[in-house]
A and B are shown apart, each in its own frame.
Chain A
Amino acid sequence: MPPGTPAPALAEIPALELRGIDKRFGSVHANRAVNLSVARGSVHGLIGENGAGKSTLMNIVYGFHRADAGEVLVNGHATNLHAPHDAIAAGIGMVHQHFMLVENFTVLENVILGVEGGALLAAGLARARTELAQLARDYALEVPLDETVADLPVGLQQRIEILKALYRRADILVLDEPTAVLTPQEADALFAMLRRLRDEGKSVILVTHKLREIMAVTDRVTVMRQGAVVANLATVETSPRELAEKMVGRPVLLRVEKAPAQPREPLLSVRALEVRDRFGVARVKQASFDVCAGEIVGVAGVSGNGQSELLETLAGIRAPTSGAILLGGRDLIAERLDPRARRKLGLAHVPEDRLRMGVVASFSAEDNVILGYQDRPSYRRGALLHHRAIRAECEKMMAEHDVRPPSPRLRITAFSGGNQQKLVLAREIESAPEVLLVGQPTRGVDIGAIEFIHRRLIALRDAGKALLVVSVELEEILALADRILVMHAGEIIGEVPRAEATEERLGLMMAGVKREADA
């Protein structure tokens, strides 16, 4: 029995228990009488759609928010959590989705940040070094202590966050969407690490919206919907289908059925496209590919490997340093066509980050459906905008694309992520494009809407259009694409037909391992 294992009597008491947690933000009821019990030495999954209240709950646990009602018990003792340092003192550590690391500090400096232990750093650093060596041995969490964080891969940076929490003597670790930035292999390594921590007696809370992760690593799972806990299950006794149903509140299809693609002539051709950022770093290196009528080409890759730049360059938002983009016999680069001109040629674009680029957050839904199409004659009456025609068009889009509530005058941010995305998709599809570029089709979109959006994209393919889909969700690429391009460090490292694609093979390519030579 390793040292530090709690006495059997203590093991009966949950490491963390939430009783009747209630929280409102204005009129939004973010948490409704939530009860949650995390056993010592277990990995506990917390799953729910965006806006289900997972983040609010975890922010209460970490002391960012205070609950309106209810209590938090750590090891059976009621604990007041006013600020994150209270949570740290109670042994709760948090690994945020966006790492809280100082990029140009070394690993060691990052670990002791905030717990330097004195005015002079030397003593603290020396103490930390020995202690971290011990931790690394106990949990097999090796990290190069003297490297600068910016030079390390994301998987290692995440490991530093975990070490930071352990160094602060955390017994309860909360991980918020930890796999968003990882390749499948890195995610598997993370899960192995979590299992090890569990075996050493730590308690882990894994917050995620991915069913696969819940099934892969957790012991128990709590499902939240609309601020309330709807199920608390042992992972071995449940299935992805049951979890999805509980998350959404109705039966869902996890994968949309589709017929094999019938690709025809290429509609969009990219030749030797090279994109550099303003520092002169190559973001897209010599990309060449075609997208044909009647097929969906998926671009897979870990976030930040040039997919975004590729998409923006195709859409005309970013200028390439060299190369050609051919559409309908015209070279979009040589003619320096802007996004508006490209739309007129039948190239529509659903951007990756809709709130940053795809919509104007302060505008109503109807003002957003003309974004990019504000010059269209049917939206005008003389020099003026034809507000009534615009509203009618918006209502039509909302009806056909199941946007709820169907209120054109409502501010776009009052819609859920899924409904915003459906409206953006509607706007671009209704422009009857020949080629549709889609970035992260279902980012921040609830499961119910995912099914709908996938259906729409496949229907567009079956209507003979060419689609290019960029997604960091491998499952999505596998569900949609007929042909998969994998990007790594700006390079299209390989192309795989859907039939030959497996998560393992794509994962290796995403990590930069080139495809075995074609025999």
Chain B
Amino acid sequence: MMTERMGLIVTLAFGLAVWPVGGGHATDAAAAANGTIRGRVELRQAAPDPGPQAGVADIGMNAAHGPTDRRSVVYLDPAPRAAFDAREDLRPRMDQRNETFVPHVLAIVAGTTVDFPNSDHTYHNVFSLSKTRSFDLGRYAVGRSKSVRFDRPGIVRVFCDIHSHMSAFILVFAHRYFSVADVDGSYRLEGVPPGTYTVMAWNESAPLESRRVVVPDAGGEIEMNFSLGRR
């Protein structure tokens, strides 16, 4: 499937990004200003929601939740050496609400622990069979939360064992140069040292796209737009 193939490519890219090759591309960061890469990611064709199907009695039912928030993620590959120096101690959460994972797409730095609270009045069973990080949190009720630490870069597909229509993505990066696009597709990568990079745009329902970008010594803003999916 296209998404899985992309996953393989992205995983590879993430893996390579672990190695700080920025010295070969970026100029001396101390003598130059950092730049910002910003723009929009447009999705040409949105994937439809299949709707719930917990049992045969539910076949054909309308989705109980809203449309899936399939946001894109933009990241540098490879990342500048400075990206690997500092680590922020964040504790992001992926909520289970109205039989939906919120957010549907989460991007984190390797080594981050993610909380999975259950905000529904029904059981959920968060699990993943991904090679990057497989886990099974079991069934737990409203008000409870379990957590998972993600140490390896790559893509983690998250599912609920009870509600087959629930799915999410966690993108684990070896660096901090990534941005989850807004609802309107806009993204912003800040503090990028001068140098030549490849900017990657990922979305679960479209092939991965990449562009070369040069951040000049003077820094400044560089606009880069993506249009993902088949024409």
Does chain A bind chain B?
Answer: no
